[in-house]
Structure 1
């Protein structure tokens, strides 16, 4: 793959066959799902009077029925995606969509609610099988630098399709007398266009052709969950994504009733809320590539979680005291200033959800073994389904207990604070990357060069000059994957920084003379890290420089390489000397916060890896010195 391809904008993927047909296939499918679902929801909320399906419960029931197949069939779907060519599966699924939409067309024409509910279930089945195929397809065709952008494009496309599908569904079903027929023909047309797009999807060979399909959904679901739980960061990311869908399902399912009963708007107002929400999440998803600098940056996840809670809570306050009376038309609704606060809250909540979810999807794809990646994504879909069904049950229960829809939104926003805090404690990497993100974007103007030399897979050692107390944090910000640091044991006594380094599982080291046990334990831990295939970073000077010059490199790295001969990547931290966190003024640090002002320029340059047999302390020092001058 050429360098130009690797570093081009995420939008350039739309001009490439490895991505564009797949993108339009999933875009048209998502649009069709949502045109169908939203038109059906509006039909039973505003037009049909069905005694056994009251309007305020229609969104919850339809949403739960669509999600149920994800719970029942995702385990089998993951096996099919790992065993078979994904392009072949995609084309077969699009033909199934055409058949279901023909059946749904008759349901709309005859206004047969039970038949339409059956079609909702069948579309859920089609989507459940498509899910593992979709997310396992991307890492087969995109590299690490493209994965965040590619996921952002898919998420953007999905929610723009949701937007267009919901708007079209709401507008078409509202047409007097002929609305249902227009919906029916539109669903068939979109299904046929999606099938035509799927014919151009390139081959995506099986990653495990010898896999024997286990058709027992219960035992296979359990096996998939066990596969996913083998990596803590992957499994906890799956839990985080599932929670995001829990929150999203509560909001999306309640929009028709929220528009009608709280905002006192007509069908077009309900559509407007979905427009605002979809544009927000699409924008957040697209911006992930820029904010992450084309790496998988999970430091964005806490940013998104904070935003989701803040704006969900404010939505509750924005929704109080809105007067009733005659139902607002779209024009009348947007004329009221109070309604703009509601729309801004929805947009920013959705924007935060986009920033929250895309890095976690990319992390799951990047860190899942290719041989059973689709089954791990199936596990993600299973848990997503459980969480969304739980959201429907909880939402319905809260409404039955007498809570208003804004109060339900408030409860979910507050619960998001608790869940987010719990997830970040379970996976400290999210919090650490968040701190690194803040340091590199809000405290410094941090420029990274040569980061392509930092390997995205396999064991390696980074060696860097030691200029300040935040060197490790900036290295974290520059690396596409976690780094384990060997650090002077005294740094762990510093308030806040010491706690962060303990959270990062940094390895304390002391001199052999001062503490032989800590010295030997550090090298044993370093060997374990490299044996596990992870990144290790050491500061061969042994201490933070006191005069800004590069000190002599000590020989500890040679002892590590004797046990684990791995590539060594030289790294230079530039322009940190004289900053708040470096030693200056009688050897002290952190005494004058604005000594260099805010957003001072600092940098990191990584050089080409050195083979272990060519490593020497003096040679590494010379390479780092050359990088400092670059």
Structure 2
């Protein structure tokens, strides 16, 4: 695994031009949208008697409408055709749209400018499936989390900068529409220039026949997402975050003015806190996950979203402030809790979303990946619309205050999280395992490239501690079905993890023949389904730190189902609190936060597997590091 950080991607052509292209696109969208919002406010007298709030809501609907109408269609295009060419055409479309915007500003036509907003939504609809579909093609597996984190960070920073720049350009007193038009054209042209440097990303489904019926294709996309349980609930989790995020972000202007008593500068400051937080959380994901897709961060993120969302309610003032400046707000210690809550909601939002996006990309069929993203975009749009409707109902008819809306949303987040993690316990189990290997141990894995991404394999390791299955399961990025001694399987608390992780309890023939026979049936079922089987051929945990003779049960399994075997050595675990260095009643946390090595060897072909050969390979990998 490369030791370089995600930021090294900025020095590589395969990533930097794409990053700049997508970031400038998001920046341009938000410059125009916020400049148009300023137009609606400053020139409301020219709206032909229309209510300003109605036009603002209409503009939001026009931007999001193309996601409902065309996502399914352009998801097919993203899979069928080469992606760098499609991106260049999308950026040329953006230049054309901004020329149309220039005409709208020149004619001072609200109708034309609202049409531009619809076209920008259409452009985003086309670009979305390409954006997330291209990342697994231009990034290596260990770069996927870091790349997604950078894209997430770049997108939110672009939103913040566009939110600030749009009204600032709109505030120029002399001929301000010309400044907005010039800025948008310049940004679009610059984005096109970067797009020409994006390397080729071949079509993943060139044989695909385009279905022009967007309704039936939308249904087909959603049905396909439903075929993979983990992808389905990851998609729903992402869409829920957009519900959560939209609820908070949309209310920031009113919260700044009506609750805190501030102005537009305070609004920008609070938005900046949230976006700095989500950017920081996104970037920390690579470090916390060890450059792999670590879904254990998702429950951690969900917990933070709920905890700090609830705390924001209690931290908000009971009586609205008056005339609060951004400087006065920041320097008042009484407001630091609000600032911390907004910042940490963003941080934990990054922990929540980045692994989910990476998981959807990793677990989706490459030939169908962009269509999955298209379905995700449709659901995102639905959830954001639902958030807006709920907010209007609660703040209007039900008489909720904005802090009360935040409280309800945070509680709903906890309910949704419990529901998803109950349906897919893999998220919660990975979280518990992630906590183990980042608190009691510091685990480093080498040779992970020897573990194939697909197909049946057996992972065989030496057995040093009770935590061995958790450490291996936490570091191997495919679900592993471990065979373990039934008495260890039944250990309280750990049993939940083992059972949820589909571990296979086994006993000696003299102890319980029924458990043994059932274990072999499940073993063959796991390998027959193309999954990963984990075994400890010693048959028990070492009592002296040395590798015990491997038992021949592995040979029986291979004879009946010949698959390759991956030798793995667990190193530096002897003497830790979960090993058998001392009797249980005397066990203390020796080697707390110690460095543990997981060393993966080259696969052994089925025809060469023997217990003696496998033991020699594990001993060689381990060396003298007990």
Same fold (TM over 0.5): yes
Q: CA separation of 1:89/1:253 partners in 2, compared to 1, >3 Å: closer, same or farther? A: same
Report deviation, 1:357.
0.8
Contact 2:293/2:358 (CA < 8 Å) preserved in 1?
yes
Give the Cα separation in 2 of the matches to 1:237 and 1:166.
29
2:603 to 609, 612, 624: 609
2:296 corresponds to 1:295 = no
Q: How does 1:432-581 map to 2 (within 5 A)?
A: 432-581=429-578
State the partner residue of 1:424: 421
SS in 1 for 2:168: helix
Residue equivalent to 2:67: 70
**RMSD value over aligned CA atoms?**
2.2
Cross-structure match for 1:80: 77
Which stretch of the first structure deviates more once superposed, 384-393 or 182-191?
182-191
Q: 1:62 to 1:278 in 2, by over 3 A?
A: farther
Greater mean deviation of Cα atoms: 441-450 or 105-114? 105-114
Question: Is 1:184 aligned to residue 178 of structure 2?
Answer: no
| Residues 82, 372 of structure 1: 8 Å contact kept | yes
Where does residue 626 of structure 1 map in the other structure? Answer: 620
Q: CA deviation at 1:368?
A: 1.2
In structure 2, how many angstroms separate the alpha carbons of the residues matched to 1:592 and 1:45?
72
Please, what TM-score do these two structures have when normalized by structure 2? Answer: 0.94
Name which of structure 1's ranges 63-72 and 462-471 shifts more when overlaid on structure 2. 63-72
**Structure 1 segments unaligned to the other structure (5+ residues):** none
Deviation at residue 136 of structure 1 after TM alignment? 0.9
Match of 1:32 in 2: 28
1:348 Cα offset (Å)? 1.0
Q: Secondary structure at the match of 1:36?
A: helix
Distance 1:406 1:540, change over 3 A: same
Q: What is the deviation of 1:406?
A: 1.7
Cα gap change, 1:111 to 1:417, in 2 (>3 Å): farther
Give the secondary structure class of the aligned counterpart of 2:350. helix
Equivalent-residue separation in structure 2 for 1:176 and 1:409 (angstroms):
37
Deviates more, 1:130-139 or 1:114-123: 114-123
Task: Compute the displacement of 1:322 (Å).
Answer: 5.5
Q: Structure 1 residues 107, 402: closer, same or farther in 2, change over 3 A? A: farther
Write out aligned runs for 1:241-252 (5 A). Answer: 241-252=238-249
Asked if structure 2 preserves the Cα contact closer than 8 Å seen for 1:60 and 1:392, the reply is no
Taking the aligned partners of 2:276 and 2:249, their CA distance within structure 1 comes to: 13
More displaced 10-residue stretch of structure 1: 619-628 or 335-344: 335-344
Match of 2:261 among 243, 261, 264: 264
Aligned with 2:275: secondary structure?
helix
What is residue 141 of structure 1 aligned with on the other side? 138
Residue 83 of structure 1 contacts residue 209 of structure 1 at CA under 8 Å; is this kept in 2? yes
- Cα displacement (A) at 1:624: 1.5
**Equivalent residue number for residue 271 of structure 2:** 274
Cα 1:339/1:178, change in 2 over 3 Å: farther
CA gap 1:609/1:265 in 2 versus in 1, 3 angstroms? same
For 2:596, what is the secondary structure of its paired residue?
Answer: strand
Summarize deviations over 1:457-489 as a string: whole Å, max 9, x none: 332211111222211111122112221111122
What's 1:337 paired with? 333
Give the structure 2 partner of residue 411 of structure 1: 408
Structure 2 counterpart SS, 1:485: strand
Compute the displacement of 1:393 (Å): 1.2
Cα 1:568–1:267 shift into 2, 3 Å = same
Alpha-carbon distance between aligned partners in 2 of 1:574 and 1:501, rounded to the nearest angstrom: 22
Structure 2 Cα separation of the partners of residues 489 and 62 of structure 1? 62
Structure 1 residue 111, shift from structure 2 partner: 5.3
The worse-fitting range, judged by mean Cα deviation, of 347-356 and 254-263 is 254-263
Cα distance in structure 1, aligned partners of 2:384 and 2:431: 27
| Structure 2 Cα separation of the partners of residues 576 and 64 of structure 1 | 57
Per-residue deviation, 1:332? 3.6
Conserved? CA contact 1:553–1:621, under 8 Å = yes
Question: What secondary structure does 2:599 align onto?
Answer: strand
Greater mean deviation of Cα atoms: 234-243 or 553-562: 553-562
Task: Give the equivalent residue in structure 1 for 2:355.
Answer: 359
SS in 2 for 1:402: coil
In the TM superposition, residue 575 of structure 1 has moved relative to its aligned partner by 2.7
What residue ranges of structure 2 are gaps of 5+ in the alignment?
Answer: none
Structure 1 range deviating more: 246-255 or 174-183: 174-183
TM-aligned CA distance change 1:9 to 1:572, over 3 Å: same
Matched, 1:23 2:28: no
> Any conservation in 2 of the 1:60–1:254 contact (CA below 8 Å)?
no
Instruction: Decide which moves more: 305-314 or 114-123.
Output: 114-123
Corresponding residue of 1:12: 8
Counterpart CA distance in 1 for 2:122 and 2:296 is 34
**In structure 2, what is the Cα distance between the partners aligned to 1:45 and 1:616?**
78
Residue 463 of structure 1 contacts residue 568 of structure 1 at CA under 8 Å; is this kept in 2? yes
Alpha-carbon displacement from aligned partner over 1:222-272 (angstroms, at most 9, x marks no partner)? 111122222111111111111111111112222222222222222222222
SS of the equivalent of 1:508 reads strand
What is the CA distance between 1:47 and its match in structure 2? 6.7
The 8 Å contact of residues 567 and 609 in structure 1, kept in 2 or not, is answered as: yes
8 Å CA contact retained: 1:280, 1:348: yes
Q: In the alignment, does 2:597 pair up with 1:600?
A: no
Q: CA deviation at 1:190?
A: 1.0
Alignment map for 1:194-209 (pairs within 5 Å): 194-209=191-206
**CA distance change for structure 1 residues 353 and 42 in 2, over 3 Å: closer, same or farther?**
farther
| Residues 1:282 and 1:474: Cα distance change in structure 2 (over 3 Å) | same
State which drifts further: 375-384 or 180-189. Answer: 180-189
Residue equivalent to 1:284: 281
1:391 aligns to 2:391 (yes or no):
no
What's the CA shift for 1:339? 3.3
3-state DSSP of counterpart to 1:562: helix
Provide the residue aligned with 2:228 in structure 1: 231
Distance in 2 (alpha carbons) for counterparts of 1:66 and 1:383? 15
- Asked whether the equivalents of residues 59 and 254 of structure 1 are also in contact (C-alpha less than 8 Å), the reply is no
Taking structure 1 as the reference length, what is the TM-score of the superposition?
0.93
What SS does the corresponding residue of 1:445 show, helix, strand or coil? strand
